[in-house]
């Protein structure tokens, strides 16, 4: 695990930096998760391990610091990722974002096209409004979530059998989780979907097979976005079918590199 100080917030962002060839693959995790726990299998998969890989724990998550003064908005997370890539002198990266990591990756590509060569978005939020997890989190005020909602939510995930997610959630700061959720689902113009459609880079959007049917599958194809499906998996595709997810990501990346 490596650290990088973000001077503006006096906090360290932590990440794994696995050596390999360019382009580097940058992994951005979802709400309540951590790249250090969700992406190691993918980064070391036979079709991907030759590439340099950065598994970033966003501020407030995993091993990274938890500054109380940080906003934890999607834009702020994207700026932190950009700061780290600049510090490592990386450009033209392939960015893989799951769930909340999808919008962060989209905003990163919008604001810093020099840093992003292509995107792989795994069931990332495209429109305003809550999903299953963010709906529960934002049903509490920030103070109430910190005081009682966080523990209740983690207990409910354990009871539902989502033990891998519950344990990564335990490593997240409840303040960060709540502020991130509020920003993730907020009304915004342009929407993540509109930004994604306007990006002049190769994009692959990945669904878990159990999440289908979904009208976005056809809608994204109509926009010229490559769509792929991970078999035998739902939203948490890295845990449901790590081999299938890794293979799907590898195929998306190889299409970009060979084109």
Per-residue pLDDT tens over the stretch 113-150: 999 999 999 999 999 998 889 999 999 999 999 999 99
Assess contact for 253 and 27: CB atoms under 8 A.
no
Residue range 70-88, pLDDT digits in tens: 999 999 999 999 999 999 9
The residue written with tokens 């990346």 in the block is: 253
> Which helix (H) or strand (E) is 151 found in, with range?
helix 150-159
Q: Which one, of 244, 239, 250, lies nearest residue 29 by Cα?
A: 239
Which pLDDT belongs to residue 258?
84
Paired sense of beta strands 11-18 and 2-6, if any: antiparallel
CA neighbours closer than 13 Å in the CB half-sphere of residue 176: 25
Q: What structural domains and CATH numbers belong to the chain?
A: 2-127+189-258 (3.40.50.1820)
Indicate if the pLDDT at residue 259 is higher than 80.
no
- Asked if 138 contacts 181 with a C-beta cutoff of 8 angstroms, the reply is yes
**pTM of the prediction?**
0.97
**Cα first-last separation, the chain:** 33
Predicted pLDDT of residue 3:
98
- How far apart CA 52 and CA 162 sit, in angstroms, is 30
């Amino acid at each position: 695990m490596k650290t990088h100080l973000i001077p503006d917030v006096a906090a360290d962002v932590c990440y794994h930096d696995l050596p390999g060839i360019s382009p580097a693959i940058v992994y951005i995790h979802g709400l309540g998760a951590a790249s250090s726990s969700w992406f190691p299998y993918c980064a070391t998969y036979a079709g991907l391990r030759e590439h340099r890989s950065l598994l970033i724990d966003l501020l407030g998550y995993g091993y990274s610091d938890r500054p109380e003064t940080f906003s934890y908005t999607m834009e702020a997370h994207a700026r932190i990722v950009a700061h780290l890539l600049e510090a490592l002198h990386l450009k033209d990266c392939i960015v893989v974002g799951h769930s909340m990591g999808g919008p962060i990756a989209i905003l990163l590509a919008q604001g810093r096209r020099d840093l992003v060569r292509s995107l792989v978005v795994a069931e990332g939020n495209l429109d305003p409004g809550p999903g299953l997890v963010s709906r529960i989190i934002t049903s509490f005020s920030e103070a109430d979530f910190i005081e009682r909602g966080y523990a209740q939510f983690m207990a409910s995930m354990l009871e539902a059998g989502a033990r891998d997610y519950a344990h990564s959630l335990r490593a997240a700061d409840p303040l960060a989780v709540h502020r991130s959720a509020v920003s993730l689902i907020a009304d915004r113009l342009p929407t993540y979907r509109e930004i994604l459609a306007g990006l002049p880079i190769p994009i692959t959007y990945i669904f878990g097979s159990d999440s289908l049917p979904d009208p976005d599958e056809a809608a994204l194809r109509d926009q010229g976005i490559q769509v792929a499906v991970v078999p035998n998996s739902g939203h948490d595709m890295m845990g449901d079918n790590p081999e299938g997810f890794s293979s799907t990501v590898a195929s998306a990346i190889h299409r970009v590199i060979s084109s």
